[in-house]
Amino acid sequence: MTTLAGLRIGRRQWLAAAALPAVSAIVSGCASRTAGVGPAATPGWLPYQRRFARVRVSPDRVIRTVVGLRPFRRPGFRVAVEKIDDKVVVHNYGHGGGGVTLSWGTADLAAELALQSGLRRFAVIGCGAVGMATARLLQQRGCSVTIYAKDLPPNTTSNVSGAQWGPFSVVDRDRRTPEFMTQFVRASRFSYRYFQNLTGERYGVKWIENYVLSDEPSAAAPLPEVEGLLPESRDLRPGEHPFPARYVRMFASMFVEPPVYLPALEADVRQAGGRIDVREIRDRSELASLAEPGVINCTGLGARALFNDEEMLPIKGQLHVLLPQPEVDYLVLAPDLYMFPRRDGILLGGTFERGEWSLEPNHDAEKRILDGHSRIFRDLAP
């Protein structure tokens, strides 16, 4: 049996050595629970005889390569209010690899701060997942909103996100504080519940099974505050799965398809009376020219220059998209590798280049990603 020992540990942000171990704790904390999973294992891959379509991995099936920069903030995302000249500014940025996942939760935190100002007219700067979620919650709470953004979907950072639901790589381990963790848990729970309202074809959100492959068992301790946000988590015994790995854990999560999700949110903003003004805010002094007395800063990585936040840094991610395979209906997470099936193609990823600003594809990483996935699916049992 081929093992994963030769693959570098990178998507361990999702597993045990994460920048924020909360997600690994969610997974491992639920691993012993079997409620809802089904009866004890019988011959066959899973108790309900699950079948796995094999992903066909080869360079000639790659239809595009996309590169994006995760807006990582060392102490974690920032949701805070400050007064800049005559504007009330609420910051909501710095989500790292958890932007789509946490978007509704930090939007809730930001909207609460915004409404405490007594204002009801707001400018939202940024049109990615965080900006549009914030705009929608403000609209739902009786506010008028104008979004200012240099780009619209499909030209946002959120569009090149894998968008698996799971708040990973959100904060440096040594920078966590009790105050941040309180915000993190609240945002995770709110976002988890809100996304469930959006499942279905219109928003491109669905529940899907995940399979985490490893050559080492996870030793992460449970984090009770967020336990249960990845349901049906359990370790699979040999004979319950077809994957070439010593240890396999399955769980269910929500999967978001940005090419469907983001246009749907944009349509919702416009339908509710929101305006979208395509222009870049290059300097804090330009805030004074905005008609709205309140400003919500959802600029992501742009906050480094716009608001002088030196804690912000890019984490480069690279995806190689294969021709679509509608029959593939599960996700795989492995050391430094992940496979996400979308209707527009099979996403193969596994890079996490901290501090790298280049948007040029890394060809060594491409070879590693394709070769690693090829080994996994080549050795998938029939």
Strands (E), the chain: 62-73, 78-84, 87-93, 121-125, 144-149, 205-214, 234-236, 247-256, 275-278, 294-297, 312-322, 330-334, 337-342, 345-349, 353-354
Residue 15, burial from CB neighbour count under 10 angstroms (0-12, 13-18, 19+): buried
pLDDT at residue 169 is higher than 90: no
Token digits for 300? 């992501």
Query: Can you give the pLDDT at residue 221?
Result: 33
Token digits for 355? 């501090």
In terms of average pLDDT, the best of 9-23, 43-57, 350-364 is 350-364
- Report whether 352 contacts 26 (CB < 8 A): no
Query: Can you give the pLDDT at residue 166?
Result: 85
Query: Can you give the pLDDT at residue 226?
Result: 67
- Where is pLDDT greater, at 16 or 81? 81
Average pLDDT over residues 223-236: 78
Closest among 167, 169, 274, 284 to 225, alpha carbons compared: 167
Lowest-pLDDT choice from 109-118, 141-150, 275-284: 275-284
Query: Can you give the pLDDT at residue 57?
Result: 97
pLDDT at residue 344 is higher than 80: yes
Q: Are strands 294-297 and 312-322 parallel, antiparallel or unpaired?
A: unpaired
Closest among 188, 201, 203, 195 to 254, alpha carbons compared: 195
Lowest-pLDDT choice from 31-45, 130-144, 240-254: 31-45
Query: Can you give the pLDDT at residue 49?
Result: 66
Contacts of 76 (CB under 8 A, 6+ apart): 20, 94, 170, 171, 175, 176, 180, 183, 184
- Report whether 212 contacts 23 (CB < 8 A): no
The dihedral through the CA atoms of 308, 174, 254, 229 has a sign that is negative
Burial 158-189 (b: 16+ CB within 10 A, else e): bbbbbbbbbbbbbbbeeebeeebbebbbebbb
Query: Can you give the pLDDT at residue 29?
Result: 32
Q: Are strands 275-278 and 144-149 parallel, antiparallel or unpaired?
A: parallel
Token digits for 88? 């009330």
- C-alpha pair distances (Å), 114 with each of 50, 80, 121, 317: 48, 10, 10, 32
Confidence of residue 382 (pLDDT cuts 50, 70, 90): confident
204: left (phi over 0), alpha (psi -120 to 50) or beta: left
pLDDT at residue 5 is higher than 50: no
Give the position of tokens 């500014």: 89
Q: By three-state DSSP, how is residue 245 classified?
A: coil
The dihedral through the CA atoms of 30, 33, 37, 40 has a sign that is positive
Backbone angles phi and psi of 249, in degrees to 5? -120, 140
Average pLDDT over residues 307-317: 95
Using only C-alpha atoms, the chain has a radius of gyration, in whole angstroms, of 21
SS (H, E, C) 319-330: EEEECCCCCCCE
| Beta bridge pairs of residue 354 | 315
pLDDT at residue 8 is higher than 50: no
Query: Can you give the pLDDT at residue 218?
Result: 62
Q: How many CA atoms lie within 13 A of 79 on its CB side?
A: 25
d(CA 373, CA 382): 16
Token digits for 217? 């068992």
- C-alpha pair distances (Å), 240 with each of 44, 303, 333: 6, 47, 17
